[in-house]
Structure 1
Amino acid sequence: MLTRDEYLAAWSQWHGGTDPGANRLVHGWLSAAYALARPLAALPPIAATGFGLAVAASAVPTAVAGGRWLVLAGVLVGLSGLLDSLDGALAITTGRASRRGFVLDSAVDRLTEVAYAAALWVAGAPGWLAAAFGALCWLPDYLRARAGQAGVAETGAISVWERPTRVILAGFAVGGAGLVPDAAVAATGGAAAGCLLGVVGVAQLGVQLRRALAD
């Protein structure tokens, strides 16, 4: 099994040379996934992928129940994000990473982000704002994928709107909605904060990709 530093280096290679050490949140998130993967090395990565998607999907009906159930829904959002990172850590550290798995993991990421947006909506955020949150979760990875097809080898530096930020913000917004008198205020505030970070993150990425595509 790879050491943590070897895992982070391999993760960087799979993600277009992105340096995870450039962002403390991303570095800490990946380190936590690595620590969780060590005792679970025998678990097939696809199992973690499927379980993560199921957990994310379960957050929506849990949020529908409202009240204190929203706290559990927020926990499920966070857990699904950790499971998503676990599958990648398992695949890379045990030498089972593949292009097929990489694409599948990316597709599942997008599906879980649909669940996050839906959970925000049922928690009380306006539909259009929840939809915008979901779209801004998708857009950075779509831009990176298209840039890769255009021949850009590097995916750019880490922005303020990477996967860990999306998961944590959605989890706290949904969970926090169950702790305040007006759930809609917390859900709307969380979705709005996510949209703001999403716009900033896309702008950061856009500047980087514009330079890379101009070469």
Structure 2
Amino acid sequence: MLSREEYLEAWSRWHGGADTSAPLVRGWLTLAHALARPLAALPPVVATAAGVVVAAAAVPPAAAGGAWLVLAGVLVGLSGLLDSLDGALAIGTGRASQRGFVLDSVVDRLTEVAYAAALWVAGAPGWLAVAFGALCWLPDYLRARAGQAGVHRTGPISLWERPTRVAMAGLTLGGAGVVSGLEIAGVDGATLTATAGAATGLLLGVVGTVQLGRWLGAELAGPGQGDLPPSG
């Protein structure tokens, strides 16, 4: 198993030279590395599969409402840890592969669908939950398309990276469970919290996408980027 610093360097290489010095990213990756060390013999795909199952399992308790929302928030947080664990196991033990990298990205998007669904059944308006989910997908889609256009760097860490999405969804659901049954300005506390959390995530998503978009715009306008392949 690689040391923490070796793992951070390897993770950065696998993610287009992404900066790991940001406190949130570094803390998240350090936690994943610490969890992976005693589980080094576990196949990474097991953690990958467990992550999407746990994320989907958050939807029923979110729909049940009440104190069950706290469980939904915990499951969202656990799914995020499992997602990071599979990467730590793969990279930290030298088992990382391009196939696993793609599979992990697909699973991330599926778990974010579950997060949006959980916010919706917890009380957030449907359009807001859909917008939340779309802005979970958009930054990574932009990076993927930019990669096809020749931009091989990941770019700056924005306000709306994977750890922020997980934390926003998990804390919103958990908070909704805490205030469930209370009326705030005539609205059930759980509904209000789910709506406020989804709206905050939407705002962070817009800001993060703008941050990324400005950087990508400069990269794509650079030398050698004038002739791009047709969309298809």
**Fold shared by both chains (TM-score > 0.5):** yes
Q: Does 1:113 align with 2:87?
A: no
Q: Distance in 2 between matches of 1:3 and 1:102?
A: 21
Query: What's 1:103 paired with?
Result: 102
In the alignment, which of 187, 200, 208 is matched to residue 215 of structure 2?
208
Residues 54-79 of structure 1: CA distance to partner in whole angstroms, max 9, x if unpaired? Answer: 00000001111110000000000000
Q: Pairwise CA RMSD of aligned residues?
A: 0.5
Distance in 2 separating the partners of 1:20 and 1:197 = 20
- Gaps of at least 5 residues in structure 1 are none
Structure 2 residues not aligned, in runs of 5+: 183-188, 223-232
Which residue is 1:162 aligned to?
161
Q: Which residue of 1 aligns with 2:9?
A: 9
**Matched residue of 1:20: which SS?**
coil
Matched, 1:36 2:35: yes
What letter is aligned with 1:127? G
> What's the counterpart of residue 186 of structure 2?
none
- Scaled by the length of structure 1, the TM-score of the pair is 0.99
SS of structure 1 residue aligned to 2:58? helix
Q: In the alignment, residue 172 of structure 1 is paired with which amino acid?
A: L
Letter of the aligned partner of 2:203 in structure 1? Answer: L
Task: With the length of structure 2 as denominator, give the TM-score of the two structures.
Answer: 0.92
- The correspondence of residues 37-116 of structure 1 with structure 2, limited to 5 A, is 37-116=36-115
Q: State the structure with more CA Rg.
A: 2
Distance (Å, rounded) in 2 between the aligned partners of 1:196 and 1:63: 22
1:179 aligns to what SS in structure 2? Answer: helix
The one-character-per-residue Cα deviations of 1:83-132 (angstroms, maximum 9, x if unpaired) are 00000000000000000000000000000000000000001000000000
C-alpha distance in structure 2 between counterparts of 1:200 and 1:107, whole Å: 23
Letter in 1 for 2:195: T
Deviation at 1:174, TM superposition (A): 0.8
The aligned counterpart of 2:230 is none
What percent identity do the matched residue pairs reach? 75
Residue 202 of structure 2: aligned partner:
195
- 1:155 CA drift (Å): 1.4
SS in 1 for 2:178: coil
Offset at 1:40?
A: 0.3
2:154 is aligned with what amino acid? T
2:190 is aligned with 1:183:
yes
* CA distance, structure 2, for counterparts of residue 15 and residue 69 of structure 1: 36
User: In 1, Cα distance between the equivalents of 2:10 and 2:19?
Assistant: 10
Whole-angstrom CA distance in 1 between matches of 2:14 and 2:215: 19
User: What amino acid sits opposite 2:14 in the alignment?
Assistant: W
The number of equivalent residue pairs is 214
User: Greater helix percent: which structure?
Assistant: 1
Q: In the alignment, residue 2 of structure 2 is paired with which amino acid?
A: L
Provide, for residues 6-49 of structure 1, a one-character-per-residue CA deviation record: whole Å limited to 9, x for no partner.
1000000111101111x111110000000000000000000000
